[in-house]
A and B are shown apart, each in its own frame.
Chain A
């Protein structure tokens, strides 16, 4: 994914005395380099988190305890969640933002180039803390990725390492978000009004505001855990006048917007790809922008649907149920818009389009289970079961991750200057979508029938589906090595990519050469 300086059309006078080798990457302030590093970092963490997932699925292959002790199992589930959310999905979208936002709005770089470097280089130490935490006494954090006290107050030093890591990752996210907001609001090419901006930029603008609003809330919550653990404060200890449920309210006030932080940029990517391959403009650009904003605003008033079983008043349960159900409206608008965009188009199904269509199909199933879970009485039955596990993997894996894959295949020619292997790309899609459903569809049944999540062992009637799920998980995991192979071979060579390799693609990023030169849009383009 390296940008080169060789293209004749490039004004290269800025590329003087660049450090080379490792120092190039450590000192870089170039949005493309930083975007590349974000993407490699997140893919690395994706593999780490994936290995944890395969370990825990292996334990669940059969009833009984075979491979890991229950306490280790809890570390696996916890760290799988933390690493995938904060280490894989979120940085991957920031990587896309770094690469694509300046290219899409015609800016020369991100607004704060040095801060951009710093926000990336905060990530590896945080990741290191998370990985090291497995080897401290007591092991890694084992209280679930939600870190609910009092259990998280009981943990060993692994919990402290996780808290520090989350602080660092949060700081990185806030800096990245400030950078994105500033870039989008101030550095658009002349003529590019907000309502002419590509939807990917719009969704990231809204996401960045969400991040700035809620990451400090998470920081506050985990700091209170830290002081409860070490300095005898009793924020979450009833014996000292605190309340364990307070943490849940604060955590989910962060946590629910966080869910949309991980899906809104995915909506943006899909909204770029569907029109490109349908060769037809997005059906309702304006309504997509409004739908995205509505989802973001609603995300602040639905948090307690994650905690219907804590025992809140009927009025609170009703309020959070209605507010949550309401989110189905703007989400539906998005899905209808994508389908209407495909309607009467002239579609081709290269890998990005396959992943985008797969995204709509499978994400919508996650949306339906989300609606089922929004209904308070049903949620009370299904809360903390495998139904919930299935639901959020449908929206996070088939949602966020499939959109990320779609985006990688879509922009890989621009990043590398080469076309990827289309046959292998399609194989990657079909294997991913099939194994994904083998892994997670059966988990709906497990949850409905009464299997709780976060258990290392289960009653015998759950044995069949767990075995199927584990087989699917291994298939899905191994398939991702194919993705790595496709990307690496695309970087190393392949058919030369045209400046605009996709017939129906729109946007400024396709006006620069492929691969995108190190510096682009030093003179801003003019948008009509």
Chain B
């Protein structure tokens, strides 16, 4: 399922690019395990068709740029070396040449069309959010994400309907302030991952509760602003099972750097099992739910006493996700107060 992401670029051209920019030469190396840490010099290994197209577009444009760069600056440096006064070069006095000027206007224009053509196809594909198999609303809060699985259209339409939870940074305050050593997923770990099935079209609706946020998962090729009072949408179809990490990409206040996004792509069977587990816990009510401590799924009013009191006033009630609202976990609230939030 994992798409190779460099089939269209002739390797000779890629070789030229790699002489110029380390970015290109590491493209191969980066195609390893599909998580953020895998990439250091280039776009992350793509795990969706759109992300692959973006990766290829970037390589294509980079090669065009590299070729033009070499051509233009070979001329410039040739002139700098040979047409200098200390080398005894006498100045020519030519200027204005209509033919030359037309050529260097038309040729770049043609090159632009060569770049715009594949880009246009990708833009149109990116915007096609129709017929999703699963629809999830992602709400940006200062400073965490809330996810609501909505009733959808496809064959997964009822499977996850009604599952809702918050997803906040799981990296400890002690790690951030250098008291404890930082683990491998430093700042890229959350208490509750967004779980989606592989090979299914997942439509993400974004909105926000307070200020602008942006929902971004590089490996999936998705970045969509979350705008308070408005719904926007985007989509992805993951091509490989795995865990993919992203971050909020729109400045949203002081904890902007601390609201990551973690998407766990499971096989369809595993996804169904996960959803069934969640649904069972949801209908059983908060007290009985064997859920992780950081995210006890809670029925809205009845569960309030069961949740530690400190959580209640902090929960952003004004924009509570639709049906049943999980109260924000006590642990994450404590971490937040400790961090001066």
Contacts and interface: CB of A to CB of B under 8 A. Distances in A.
Interface string A363-392: 011001001100111101101110000000
A171 interface: no
A100 B177 CA distance: 52
B89 A243 contact: no
A377 B256 contact: no
Interface string B185-213: 11110000000000000000010001110
Contacts of A328: 108, 112
Given A70-B254, A381-B218, A457-B257, A364 B95 contact: no
A383 to B, nearest CB: 6
A423 interface: no
Closest 8 interchain pairs by CB? A238-B229, A455-B257, A311-B232, A346-B91, A71-B254, A344-B92, A314-B127, A368-B65
A148 interface: yes
B61 interface: yes
A363 to B, nearest CB: 12
A372 B210 CA distance: 32
B218 A310 contact: no
A461 interface: yes
Contact of B182 (A64, A326, A383): A64
B68 to A, nearest CB: 8
B233 A454 contact: no
A378 B43 CA distance: 10
Contact of B251 (A143, A286, A336, A371): A143
A375 B57 contact: yes
B69 A368 contact: yes
Contact of A361 (B53, B76, B120): B76
Given A309-B224, A342-B83, A450-B246, A377 B50 contact: yes
Interface string B89-124: 111111111001100110011001001100110111
A318 B178 contact: no
A10 interface: no
Interface string B21-38: 011000000000000110
B47 interface: no
Interface stretch (A29-37, A441-449, A507-515): A441-449
A345 B187 contact: no
Interface residues of B, number: 98
Nearest to B61: A372
Interface stretch (A116-124, A255-263, A275-283, A518-526): A275-283
B214 interface: yes
Contacts of A381: 43, 51, 54, 58, 218, 221, 223
B86 interface: yes
Interface in B274-303: none
B112 A326 contact: yes
25 contacts: A69-B254, A71-B254, A150-B210, A151-B211, A243-B230, A244-B229, A245-B227, A281-B93, A309-B225, A310-B232, A321-B116, A329-B109, A335-B72, A347-B83, A349-B84, A357-B76, A375-B115, A375-B116, A376-B122, A377-B53, A381-B58, A449-B43, A449-B44, A459-B186, A459-B187
A114 to B, nearest CB: 41
B131 to A, nearest CB: 17
A452 B248 contact: yes
A149 B233 CA distance: 21
A380 B223 contact: yes
A325 interface: yes
A65 B180 CA distance: 12
A21 B219 CA distance: 63
B79 A343 contact: yes
B229 A345 contact: no
Contact of B123 (A325, A377, A449): A377
B14 interface: no
A384 B212 CA distance: 13
Interface string A235-254: 00111000111000000000
Contacts of A63: 182, 186-187
A323 to B, nearest CB: 11
A212 interface: no
Nearest to A71: B254
B167 to A, nearest CB: 17
A408 to B, nearest CB: 22
A211 B44 CA distance: 40
Contacts of B50: 377
Interface in A323-353: 325-326, 328-329, 332-333, 335-336, 339-349
A378 B223 contact: no
Interface in A432-466: 444-445, 448-450, 452, 454-461
B268 interface: no
Given A284-B95, A343-B79, A142 B214 contact: no
A460 B182 contact: yes
B75 interface: yes
Interface string A51-77: 000000000000111100111001000
Contacts of B54: 377-378, 380-381
Nearest to A372: B61
Given A311-B234, A332-B105, A449-B36, 19 more contacts: A63-B182, A74-B254, A142-B253, A148-B251, A309-B249, A325-B116, A339-B79, A344-B89, A347-B89, A357-B80, A368-B65, A375-B119, A385-B249, A445-B22, A445-B41, A448-B41, A448-B58, A459-B185, A460-B37
B104 A333 contact: yes
A493 to B, nearest CB: 28
Contact of A445 (B40, B51, B123, B214): B40
A333 B42 CA distance: 30
A345 B105 contact: no
A317 interface: yes
Contact of A448 (B43, B124, B127): B43
A335 B72 CA distance: 9
B316 to A, nearest CB: 14
Contacts of B115: 325, 371, 375
Contacts of A384: 214, 249-251
Given A70-B255, A329-B109, A459-B37, A372 B249 contact: no
A376 B124 CA distance: 11
A280 B124 CA distance: 49
B12 interface: no
Contacts of A287: 101
Given A347-B84, A368-B65, A449 B40 contact: yes
Contact of B124 (A64, A154, A311, A314): A314
Contacts of A280: 91-93, 95
Given A375-B57, A452-B249, A459-B186, A311 B224 contact: yes
A452 B247 contact: yes
B126 interface: yes
Contact of B84 (A151, A336, A348): A348
Given A309-B214, A384-B249, A348 B85 contact: yes
A475 interface: no
